[in-house]
Amino acid sequence: MTIDPAQLEATIREVLAAMLPGNGNDTQAKAPATQQEAPGDGVFADMDSAVEAAHLAQREYLGRSMADRRRYVAAIREAMLAPEALDYMSEQAVAQSGMGDVGHKYLKNKVAASETPGVEDLVTEAWSGDDGLTTIEYSPYGVIGAITPTTNPTETITCNTIGMLAAGNAVVFSPHPRVAKLSCWQVRRINRALRAAGAPDNLVTTVTAPSLENTNAMMAHPKVRMLVATGGPGIVRAVLSSGKKAIGAGAGNPPAVVDETADIEHAAKCIVDGASFDNNLPCTAEKEIIAVDSIADMLKFCMIKHGAYEATAAEVAELEKLLVNGDKPRTEWVGKPAAKILEAIGVTPPPGVRLIVCEAAADHPFVVHELMMPVLGLVRVPDVDAAIDLAVELEHGNRHTAVMHSLNVSKLTRMGKLIQTTIFVKNGPSYNGIGIGGEGYPTFTIAGPTGEGLTSARSFTRKRRCVLVGDLNVR
């Protein structure tokens, strides 16, 4: 996919603008009770009806051309990029989930709608020779069951819909119950846009009241041919045990290593930018820092300059009581702004604070567990090799995302080889790894456990070989 440099530049500007204090970072949101939605426009009262409708739609879709698919994808992009839709999705995602930052969600929604690869991702492979012509084409699975998270509710629906429909599938969504109302709104809007573009009805469906029972019914439905789970370890395990083709996009705990060769001020700014993005909700966001002792104080000094607050040992103890319960983050604090967290332990937040940094031991919960809060543990180690070894341990084999700030090519290589993450960002904020300010296309479904990596249309296909014997070799 070619990225328009002007568009990329505009996106980077928006990221930087969105990082500035006062740009939505102080959002307060309360999660209202889930409300039951009325059926219509792709939203069904029960899962069986949602799957059957998607199945019928996909049969009809098989008869449409690639040009049709391109038009439908364009219609989805347009519907999701309308300013009122971007505003609504970003505000409601924070209001309904109780997590995240409206400004950053706006940016993520915009990137998902404008830059998720479409039909162009399906590149045919071919062999020609004395025996004729053979092609490998990417073909649809049929109906896909997609389970989406609270942390990126609308971005994931947009990104999955574009990729899955570009590949010729229909999709049934099973969103998180906390964001049911917004997910139904989005499915309806997509269906109306598709209908206006001439697509079959119900290529994208969901249910009025998503629940674990409905997700289980979707996973077990014989007409659902592929499952895609974007979420934590429980749902990834569930789809992998389903007996169907499954893509698992699971949890991460991305370490950020900083060694003595790095540009420390740049590293500090990148870590604050990346780890405070959407209040640390992204699975890709820096979750702990491992700093070589000789530069650790300088790193903290520069992080404070760029919007971090360093908690004292006593404040770290208070934060631990507030934010975690054993090895589990307390849901009510997930994705909350740093200022609110500081206020809750009686600290007056410095103006523009975006992140709380807590120097801690390597086994501290702020280091070991994925909190999804703008609170990062920082571990001091004697040298870069110790930092890399600890990063590998703290990533827990998720093979998700890692970040390293270093100018030592052999150490960057060592970390890349040992940590085996799907995304490895060097000398930038973590969001550079998902196509925001870094080269490459974006995705909101990063499949480490099952190996598809940054999913796109071709991830949602079967490879099929067509063999024409003897002819059409014209060399």
148 lines the binding site for ligand NAD (CB under 6 A): yes
With b for 16 or more beta-carbon neighbours within 10 A and e for fewer, the 201-227 pattern comes to ebbbbbbbbbeeebbebbbebebbbbb
152: contact with ligand NAD by CB under 6 A: yes
Q: Report CA 271 to chain centroid distance, whole Å.
A: 18
Of the residues 96, 150, 208, 421, which one makes contact with ligand NAD according to CB under 6 A = 150
Q: Does 451 bind ligand NAD (CB under 6 A)?
A: no
Burial class (CB in 10 A: 0-12, 13-18, 19+), 50: buried
**Minimum distance of ligand NAD from residue 195's CB (angstroms):** 26
Q: How far is the CB of 437 from ligand NAD (least distance, A)?
A: 18
- Residue ranges in 277-311 assigned as alpha helix (H): 293-305
End-to-end CA separation in angstroms for the chain: 29
**Residue with structure tokens 């059957």?**
52
Name the strand (E) or helix (H) holding 128: strand 125-129
44 secondary structure, DSSP code: E
Binder among 162, 170, 238, 323 for ligand NAD (CB under 6 A): 238
234 is a site residue for ligand NAD (CB under 6 A): yes
Q: Any idea which residue has 């550079």 for tokens?
A: 432
Question: Would you say 27 or 280 has its CB closer to ligand NAD?
Answer: 280
- Is residue 198 a contact partner of residue 60, using CB atoms and an 8 Å limit? no
Q: Under rule CB under 6 A, which residues in 456-475 are in contact with ligand NAD?
A: none
Nearest to 57 by CA among 217, 194, 220: 194
Determine, following the binding rule CB under 6 A, whether residue 158 of this chain makes contact with ligand NAD: no
Q: Is 116 in the site for ligand NAD (CB under 6 A)?
A: no
Q: Which stretch binds ligand NAD (CB under 6 A): 130-138, 194-202, 229-237, 262-270?
A: 229-237
Looking at the Cβ atoms of 224 and 262, the one nearer to ligand NAD is 224
x/- binding map, residues 249-278, to ligand NAD, per CB under 6 A? xxxx--------------------------
Tell me the two tokens of residue 303.
């992080």
Decide the pairing of beta strands 375-381 and 170-174.
unpaired
Which of 146, 342 has the CB closer to ligand NAD?
146
Instruction: Select 360 or 371, whichever has its Cβ closest to ligand NAD.
Output: 371
Min dist. Cβ of residue 175 to ligand NAD (A): 6
Residue 266 Cβ, how far from ligand NAD at the closest point, in Å?
Answer: 26
Shorter beta-carbon distance to ligand NAD: residue 229 or 303:
229
Would you count residue 231 as binding ligand NAD (CB under 6 A)?
yes
141 vs 444, which CB is nearer to ligand NAD? 444
Sign of the dihedral through C-alpha 38, 40, 43, 44: positive
Q: Cα separation of 337 and 21, whole Å?
A: 11
Which range binds ligand NAD by CB under 6 A, 24-32, 234-242, 254-262, 379-387? 234-242
Q: How far is the CB of 445 from ligand NAD (least distance, A)?
A: 5
Q: Cβ distance 294 to 263 under 8 Å? A: no
Question: Footprint of ligand NAD on residues 416-435 (CB under 6 A)?
Answer: none
Query: In this complex, which beta carbon is closest to ligand NAD, that of residue 29 or of residue 193?
Result: 29
The helix, strand and coil proportions of the chain, stated in percent and rounded to the nearest 5, come to: 45, 20, 35
The residue length of the chain stands at 475
When CB distances to ligand NAD are compared, the closest residue is 231
Q: Considering only 246-254, 263-271, 292-300, 340-348, which stretch makes contact with ligand NAD by CB under 6 A?
A: 246-254
Can residue 149 be called a binding residue for ligand NAD (CB under 6 A)? yes
Residue 63 has which token pair?
């008869």
Binding to ligand NAD by residue 446, rule CB under 6 A? yes
From the CB of residue 66, how many other CB atoms can be counted at a distance below 10 Å?
12
Angle at 252 between CA 250 and CA 256, to 5 degrees: 160
Does 50 participate in binding ligand NAD (rule CB under 6 A)? no
- What is the spatial distance between Cα 468 and Cα 135, in angstroms, rounded to a whole number? 9
Closest distance to ligand NAD from the beta carbon of 394 (Å): 14
d(CA 332, CA 340): 12
| Closer Cβ to ligand NAD, 55 or 176, answer by number | 176
Pick from 232, 416, 428, 453 the residue near ligand NAD by CB under 6 A.
232
Q: What is the DSSP letter of 375?
A: E
- Asked if 103 touches ligand NAD (CB under 6 A), the answer is no
Q: Is 324 in the site for ligand NAD (CB under 6 A)?
A: no
Of 54, 76, 190, 235, the one binding ligand NAD by CB under 6 A = 235
- Sheet (strand 143-147) strand order: 43-44, 204-207, 170-174, 143-147, 224-230, 245-249
Give yes or no for residue 159 binding ligand NAD (CB under 6 A).
no
Longest dimension (CA), the chain: 79
Element (H, E) at 324: strand 324-325
How many residues at the interface with ligand NAD, by CB under 6 A? 25
CB count within 10 Å of CB 438 equals 17
- Min separation Cβ 211 and ligand NAD, Å: 8
Q: Does 230 contact ligand NAD by CB under 6 A?
A: yes
Residues that bind ligand NAD (CB under 6 A): 147-152, 174-176, 212, 215, 230-232, 234-235, 238, 249-252, 283, 370, 445-446
